[in-house]
């Protein structure tokens, strides 16, 4: 990659920052090359390395360059045969909102017609009863009984209409929408519980009497479904339970996964949807100790159909890599958006700190998250001092 620094540069304002995240990854050239290949072939990836070495950045970069397949919207409909087995429909991206709007308008029109009928029928009943009574065709006692009966019918009709409208609710739910997306979805599932990762069905305390929420409207998509057609990123993969890792493996293999209630004590446990697409690329990450806790079948699946990448901890202290660290500082300033540019002397101080933190001769650390913290701390100090540029003294002060 050509240098992003002009000759005799004086501040990071002169450093060109690429708009592509893949070009912003520092010191991981081999991993970048393999990520490019994995993106083209849509391979799963396991990133192994210490925190702060750029694993999450690589995952996001992969989403940016992943070839965009035809994205879809996913709708869930009530099942008239079995209310606890909602039906699933896949439509073109953007069509889901249109369908949902049309169905809501249709349902509203039907509800309005039902309410109008519920008003006109009792009105006609009372009017006809009054005319017959006024013409002396029926005695007062019969007329009074007719009015009372009409009142009971009105109440019964109103309650029946409300219950029936809930029981026969047919408006679908837009489960996953991809309207207007120009790049592949990127879903960070780090630390997600089973319900958030795999999907869930909300509990309904009102399950009887027609007052409850229909099962299909209580279905919540999982991150595996939202990531369909894109990247599902799971950092600290070993923190997932063994069961969750097994379910994740099943979703990867089948490329579809049904949603049911995750809690056995919830009414949602009775609901089980039709299989829902989840054709995602998994990018998992962890440190070296995590490998012992990754489910063997899941790791085997990744290695057999993808790549296992080890992140570099440092890079040689050569002019080219020093320029990369200057580029890193410029990137951090741009991301933060609240600190001034760094003078060349301040960047040199950051480079010396990177050399010190590597703990190896003629090496520069790639634990860039910690180094980024130093950049922001020094920037805050310079801003407090009203410096136009961050100076080397600001770096030293930020360290202590």
> Looking at the predicted structure, is the pLDDT value of residue 168 above 50?
no
Residue 241 vs residues 245, 248, 394: alpha-carbon distances, Å: 6, 10, 45
Residues of the chain with pLDDT > 90: what percent?
59
Please state, as a whole number, how many other Cβ atoms lie within 10 Å of the Cβ of residue 119: 13
Tell me which residue of 268, 169, 257, 182 sits closest to 218, measured CA to CA: 268
Q: Which residues of 356-383 are buried (b: 16+ CB within 10 A; e: fewer)?
A: ebbeeeebbbbbbeebbebbbbbbbbbe
- pLDDT given at position 126: 66
Q: What is the pTM of this model?
A: 0.80
By DSSP bridging, strand 314-316 and strand 363-365 are antiparallel
> Looking at the predicted structure, is the pLDDT value of residue 4 above 60?
no
For residue 304, with 0-12 CB atoms within 10 Å meaning exposed, 13-18 middle and 19 or more buried, which class applies?
A: exposed
- pLDDT given at position 325: 95
Task: Tell me which of 304 and 267 has the higher pLDDT.
Answer: 304
Give the Cα separation of 215 and 13 in Å (integer). 56
Lowest average pLDDT, out of 31-35, 47-51, 167-171, 258-262, goes to 167-171
**Residue found by looking up tokens 């879903």 in the block:** 187
- pLDDT given at position 372: 95
To the nearest whole number, what is the mean pLDDT of the chain?
86
Q: What is the pLDDT of residues 322-376, one digit of tens each?
A: 999 999 999 999 999 999 999 999 999 999 999 999 989 999 999 999 999 999 9
For residue 342, with 0-12 CB atoms within 10 Å meaning exposed, 13-18 middle and 19 or more buried, which class applies?
A: buried
Pull the structure tokens for residue 63.
């989403």
Q: What is the pLDDT of residues 278-320, one digit of tens each?
A: 999 999 999 888 888 899 999 999 988 899 999 999 999 999 9
- pLDDT given at position 179: 87
The band of 1, judged by pLDDT with boundaries at 50, 70 and 90, is very low
């Amino acid at each position: 990659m050509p240098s992003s620094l002009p000759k005799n540069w004086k501040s990071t304002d002169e450093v060109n920052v690429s708009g592509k995240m893949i070009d912003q990854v520092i010191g991981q050239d081999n991993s970048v090359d393999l990520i490019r290949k994995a993106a083209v072939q849509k391979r799963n990836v396991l990133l192994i390395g210490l925190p702060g070495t750029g694993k999450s950045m690589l995952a996001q970069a992969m989403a940016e360059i992943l070839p965009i397949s035809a994205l879809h919207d996913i709708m869930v409909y009530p099942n008239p045969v079995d209310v606890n087995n909602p039906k699933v429909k896949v439509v073109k991206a953007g069509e889901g909102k249109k369908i949902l709007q049309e169905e809501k308008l249709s349902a509203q029109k039907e509800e309005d017609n039902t309410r109008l009928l519920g008003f006109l029928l009792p009105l006609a009943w009372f009017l006809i009863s009054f005319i017959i009574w006024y013409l002396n065709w029926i005695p007062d006692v019969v007329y009074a009984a007719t009015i009372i009966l009409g009142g009971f019918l009105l109440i019964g009709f109103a309650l029946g209409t409300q219950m029936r409208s809930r029981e026969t609710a047919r408006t679908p739910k837009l489960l996953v929408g991809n309207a207007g997306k120009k790049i592949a979805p990127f879903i960070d599932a780090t630390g997600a519980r089973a319900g958030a990762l795999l999907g869930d069905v909300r509990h309904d305390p009102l399950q009887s009497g027609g007052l409850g929420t229909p099962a299909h409207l209580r279905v919540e998509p999982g991150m595996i479904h939202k990531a369909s057609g894109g990247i599902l990123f799971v950092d600290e993969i070993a923190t997932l339970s063994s069961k969750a890792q097994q379910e994740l493996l099943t979703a990867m293999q089948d490329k579809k996964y049904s949603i049911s209630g995750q809690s056995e004590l919830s009414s949602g446990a009775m609901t089980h949807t039709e299989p829902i697409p989840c054709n995602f690329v998994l990018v998992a990450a962890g440190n070296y100790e995590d490998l012992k806790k990754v489910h063997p079948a899941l790791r085997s699946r990744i290695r057999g159909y993808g790549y296992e990448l080890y992140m570099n901890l440092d890079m040689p202290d050569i002019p080219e890599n020093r320029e990369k660290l200057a580029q890193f500082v410029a990137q951090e300033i741009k991301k933060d958006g609240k600190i001034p540019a760094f003078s060349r002397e301040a960047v040199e101080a950051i480079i010396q700190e990177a050399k010190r933190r590597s703990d190896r001769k003629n090496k520069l650390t790639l634990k860039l998250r910690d180094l980024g913290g130093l950049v922001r701390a020094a920037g805050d100090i310079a801003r407090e001092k009203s410096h136009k540029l961050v100076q080397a003294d600001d770096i030293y002060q930020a360290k202590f």
